[in-house]
A = this chain, B = another copy of it.
Amino acid sequence: MLNRVILIGRLTADPELRYTNSGTAVASFTLAVDRMRSGQTGERQTDFINIVVWQKQAEIVAQYLQKGRLAAVDGRLQIRTYDNREGQKVRVAEVVAETVRFLDRGSDTGQSTAGFGGGTTPMNRPRPDRSSAPPLYEDDPFADDSQTIDISEDDLPF
């Protein structure tokens, strides 16, 4: 019904930019969000939260954000379930960003990422080695199904 998440934190690493079979850009990164235990002193705890960004925003994020940068994310919490190599169900939580704001640097370059231009469907998209990470996006929410012919597991970028 309603699902809204707002976070501010720092990137633990450079964002990773990938493309689905149908050519949609997806960027992902982890945000280190410091917790503050009210009352008790001296304690510093951190939540490491996975963020996913789609389409034009993905490319802007990949271009302007790096490890250590401070960013604000406004999106929704999503729980994905998949089967790992051992055939066990694994649940992954991530925040699907609707907008990402860059909070660190100078005034105008890439300060925001919403409602921008861009959007050229990329050719020559990179084909990274399959990592041991979960197969993130078997379903591309932005794919135009009619023209995505041959989606095979092996073609997925994750």
Contacts and interface: CB of A to CB of B under 8 A. Distances in A.
A20 B76 CA distance: 31
A84 to B, nearest CB: 10
Interface in A114-157: 114-115, 117, 141
Nearest to A100: B2
Contact of A3 (B3, B33, B76): B33
Interface stretch (A4-12, A21-29, A59-67): A4-12
A77 B5 contact: yes
What number of copies of this chain does the assembly contain? 4
Given A36-B112, A114-B36, A77 B47 contact: yes
A37 B115 CA distance: 8
A101 B47 contact: no
A141 B4 CA distance: 24
Contacts of A77: 5, 7, 47, 49, 77, 93, 95
- Give the 7 A-B residue pairs with the shortest CB-CB distance, closest first: A93-B93, A38-B115, A2-B8, A1-B8, A4-B6, A47-B79, A6-B6
26 contacts: A1-B8, A1-B9, A1-B34, A1-B70, A1-B103, A2-B7, A2-B9, A3-B33, A3-B35, A3-B47, A4-B5, A4-B6, A4-B7, A6-B6, A8-B72, A8-B101, A8-B103, A35-B76, A36-B112, A36-B114, A47-B78, A70-B103, A77-B77, A77-B95, A79-B93, A93-B93
